[in-house]
A = this chain, B = another copy of it.
Amino acid sequence: MFSTVAVDGAVRSWEDLRLQDFAQGFFFGAGFFTTFRIEAGAPWFLARHLWRLRSSLAAYPHAVRPPPHEFLAEDAVRETLQRCLRADAALGPDFHGVGKLSVSDGHVLLTFREHAPESERLRHEGRALDTWEPGAYRGGESTLNHKGLAYFRQYARMERLPLLGNEAGEVCELPTANVFCVLGETLVTPPLSSPCLPGIIREVLLEAGQVGTLPVVERALPFEQLTAVSACVFTNAAMLATGVPRLLGRALPGSLALAQEVRARVEAVAARER
């Protein structure tokens, strides 16, 4: 993580921040965050990320103290981000990497990190998914529709990266990514009620409605159907899309090409929205 951060729009040093200003976030995980890609100094899908943060705050008005509205306005965050990039030569106006907005205790914290070299490599080479936890989530569990600072269930599984499912034996998500599978002639992703995070890239693909010739559809995805899947990618805002060359022991050579196609689709939308 870079030393230059911003709190409530003001450029600060990470080392100077006090725990007491983020106490409910620390003690109870009472807060939300979002992580987004930055290319050549421009944040991707920022408006969507901010909309999701505001939705989460609105869903828990008593449990999380929201910051003043203006600190989550798109223009204000964009300007704050630019000020951070200009203030730190290690970042710079052409920064490529990952931005993160964390909200708790009435404050907005903006931080920056480099892309993990490993994750950038995996973006292109894919990552096998060979473990699963079919009953990790409960169908309809609504806290999992929010990216909360109480992220331990996901964080503790991040390295192993199991496919997480619910008690009905349906796929939900990965600890840090949404899942898309080709079944027949359709690109299927589980519904929010499975539950899963309403990921920004997931939303972009559902809105696009199509990747190549494949329609994109939100549909329950039982684990038993995974044997019929012909390609699989997972998506998140930092890495966009990663192909899955092997899914629960079965080779899926088509996944890398699918991931490339998904990234191209997302990049086209990002170019329009920026």
Name A's B-contacting residues (CB within 8 A): 1, 14-23, 25-30, 33, 60, 62-63, 102, 104, 135-138, 140-141, 143, 148-156, 159, 167
Tell whether, in the assembled complex, residue A152 and residue B19 are in contact, meaning their CB atoms are under 8 Å apart: no
A19-B21, A149-B26, A167-B167 known; A156 vs B143 contact (CB < 8 Å): yes
Q: In the complex, which residues of chain B have a beta carbon less than 8 angstroms from the beta carbon of A23?
A: 1
Bound complex: CA of A2 vs CA of B10, how far in Å?
29
Bound complex: CA of A63 vs CA of B156, how far in Å?
5
Q: In the complex, which residues of chain B have a beta carbon less than 8 angstroms from the beta carbon of A153?
A: 143, 150
Tell whether, in the assembled complex, residue A15 and residue B26 are in contact, meaning their CB atoms are under 8 Å apart: no
A106 to chain B, nearest CB (A): 15
Top 9 nearest A-B pairs (CB, nearest first) are A150-B152, A150-B150, A63-B156, A28-B155, A29-B29, A29-B152, A17-B19, A138-B138, A29-B150
Secondary structure class of chain A's binding surface, majority of residues: mixed
Tell whether, in the assembled complex, residue B152 and residue A148 are in contact, meaning their CB atoms are under 8 Å apart: yes
Bound complex: CA of A137 vs CA of B151, how far in Å?
16
Tell whether, in the assembled complex, residue A156 and residue B60 are in contact, meaning their CB atoms are under 8 Å apart: yes
Q: In the complex, which residues of chain B have a beta carbon less than 8 angstroms from the beta carbon of A135?
A: 138, 140
Bound complex: CA of A62 vs CA of B20, how far in Å?
27
Bound complex: CA of A150 vs CA of B102, how far in Å?
15
Q: Which of B14, B28, B137, B151 contacts A20 (CB 8 A)?
A: B14
Q: In the complex, which residues of chain B have a beta carbon less than 8 angstroms from the beta carbon of A136?
A: 138
Q: Which of B30, B102, B138 contacts A155 (CB 8 A)?
A: B30
Tell whether, in the assembled complex, residue A151 and residue B29 are in contact, meaning their CB atoms are under 8 Å apart: yes
Tell whether, in the assembled complex, residue B19 and residue A159 are in contact, meaning their CB atoms are under 8 Å apart: no
Bound complex: CA of A258 vs CA of B22, how far in Å?
40
Q: Which of B20, B28, B141 contacts A149 (CB 8 A)?
A: B28
Tell whether, in the assembled complex, residue A27 and residue B102 are in contact, meaning their CB atoms are under 8 Å apart: yes
Most B CB contacts (10 A, CB to CB) among A23, A60, A149 go to A149
Can you list 22 contacts pairing A with B, beta carbon distance less than 8 Å? A14-B19, A17-B20, A19-B21, A19-B26, A25-B26, A26-B104, A27-B151, A28-B149, A28-B152, A28-B155, A29-B152, A30-B155, A63-B155, A135-B138, A135-B140, A137-B138, A138-B141, A143-B152, A150-B152, A150-B153, A150-B155, A167-B167
